Amino acid sequence: MQEAQDRVQDREHLYANEVGFYRTGDQAAVANGSTHFMPMRLVLPSKHVWWDLQGPEPCKQVWIPFRFLIDGMHGKLPSLPLSEDDLADLQLRFQDPAGRAWSIDRTGALSATTWTASTGEEGTQLDRSDLLLYPNEPWMTKAQISAGCGPS
């Protein structure tokens, strides 16, 4: 019985385990190690803001400078106080091809979460702002190959 439950859990986590979220002092790396596109966003729950990512593409990894996130959000919400220190709680949320939503926190812990549309839905936890980051952003054009792409 336990073995069957473990197999189900392994299948549920298949795509989630192919996504990586890493941080350094001044940037974050987002890796899509899957052969499938997955909607992704960087979320700052304490400020109720997020940045929708149009990528990385399957099998790609990008490094996103924190200053880019801050400058972009200041452009959209000039009154929002946001600094690199605020980004300490930055998370990555994504939706796998099976429709399940996941979150990776700053420690690398993976957990199931909910996914809301990025169209300004009212009443959601994250309804303050959504800043769309496009594939032609400087950091996206420097995407690298993601290690160990696809299921092993």
How confident is the model over 116-140, as pLDDT tens digits?
A: 765 444 434 344 555 666 666 777 6
Tell the burial category of 123 from Cβ atoms under 10 Å away from its Cβ (0-12, 13-18, 19+). Answer: exposed
State pLDDT tens for residues 4-19: 555 545 567 888 999 9
pLDDT for the residue 151? 57
Q: Is the pLDDT of residue 98 over 60?
A: yes
Q: Domain-by-domain residue ranges, the chain? A: 2-145
DSSP state of 146: P
pLDDT for the residue 13? 82
pLDDT for the residue 36? 92
Q: Is the pLDDT of residue 90 over 90?
A: yes
pLDDT for the residue 146? 86
Look at the alpha carbons of 94, 63, 60, 150 in this order and tell me if their dihedral is positive or negative: negative
pLDDT for the residue 53? 85
pLDDT for the residue 5? 52
For range 96-119, the mean pLDDT: 87
Strand partners, 60: 32, 145
To 10 degrees, the CA torsion angle through 103, 117, 125, 123? -160
pLDDT for the residue 109? 93
For range 44-60, the mean pLDDT: 87
HSE of 30, CA atoms in CB hemisphere, 13 A: 29
Percent of the chain with pLDDT over 70: 76
Residue with tokens 């452009």: 75
Residue with tokens 């009443």: 123
pLDDT band at 150 (very low <50, low <70, confident <90, very high): low
Neighbours of 70 (CB within 10 A): 16
How far is C-alpha 23 from the geometric centre of its chain's CA atoms?
A: 12
pTM score: 0.82
pLDDT for the residue 80? 85
